[in-house]
Amino acid sequence: MQHLDIARDALRAQSEAVALLADRIGQEFEQAVDMILKCTGRVVICGMGKSGLIAKKLAATFASTGTPSFFLHPGEAFHGDLGMLKPVDMVILISYSGETEEVVKLLPSLKDFGNPIIAMCGGGQSTMAKAADVWLDVSVPREVCPNNLAPTTSTLATMAMGDALAVALIKARDFKPLDFARFHPGGSLGRKLLTRVRDVMRSELPVVSPEASFHDCLFAMTKGRAGVAVVMEADQLLGIVTDGDLRRALMNATDMQALSVRTIMTAHPLTIDADAQLAAADVFMREKKVRILIVTEGTGKKVCGLLEIFD
């Protein structure tokens, strides 16, 4: 039980430290966001050790949400990788102490290149904060580490400040889910938002005429393996026959021979355009509680396929 008490105390202490950041940020945060928005190059993020891991994460978050960015290792930068920088780039330096040797050694070169600098550190009188154009204060009362040594609360605060920057930029750039999907084509969101109905629809249609018999309709549905038959006449969509339509017809019919597709079909079936987003189709089908849609294309609404909800 002692472990749980320790964990709860640690989580409370960290949440309180992050809450203090929210109360403390001010005009300097606005300046940092404006600097990034005005940057015509890339946002280059640099840090060493744990701060380097945060820098990598922040660079990835920026890059995936509309702010071109990459991580620059300070040690490698000092030995040639500064050549990655362009005059139009800006730099975010991360070091809780603001005195990390590998990062501080880069300051003269960055000043010489003329790159704007944002410093994320805990001390306003540190070398890094004084050299920067904007200082973002990520100081915390103490580390949650019992020895007040291991970077714990300070790394969380720095990460939170970086995420706050990212969120502000997302809003400022009006970055939408479709924009996010373009940068994440391999993820489930990317597939949903970038995939169109025509990409996954079934193009072979089980078509029947309105005068077809019950038997012919059943045969078409079985052969089509879609559980439906599309009712067409002179290339015009008249209706759809589903498994439910067949069951209801069987339950109510007194003369099976008298049944025709016209008497059992559902007229005016739901349709969706072939160029609609798959995500929109998925939402539409769930709202309407249907598992299949007839797909149309063009101004004439020509029937071109079927879309199943599990496609």
What's the structural domain count of the chain?
2
Residues 138 and 201 in one domain: no
Residues 254 and 171 in one domain: no
The pLDDT value recorded for residue 310 is 57
Residues 103 and 167 in one domain: yes
CA distance 262 to 9: 70
> Is residue 222, in this structure, part of any structural domain at all?
yes
Helices and strands, number each (H, E), in the chain: 15, 12
The C-alpha torsion from 51 through 53 and 57 to 58, rounded to 10°, is 20
CATH number at residue 222: 3.10.580.10
The pLDDT value recorded for residue 311 is 43
pLDDT per residue over 163-202, tens digit each?
Answer: 999 999 999 998 887 667 666 666 666 666 678 889 889 8
Residues 258 and 151 in one domain: no
> Is residue 224, in this structure, part of any structural domain at all?
yes
CA distance 283 to 294: 15
Residues 207 and 288 in one domain: yes
Residues 139 and 202 in one domain: no
The pLDDT value recorded for residue 308 is 86
> Is residue 184, in this structure, part of any structural domain at all?
no
pLDDT per residue over 228-238, tens digit each?
Answer: 899 999 888 99
Give every residue of the chain whose pLDDT is below 70, as ranges.
Answer: 1, 178-179, 181-193, 310-311
Residues 300 and 242 in one domain: yes
* Domain that includes residue 281, residue range: 197-308
pTM of the complete model: 0.68
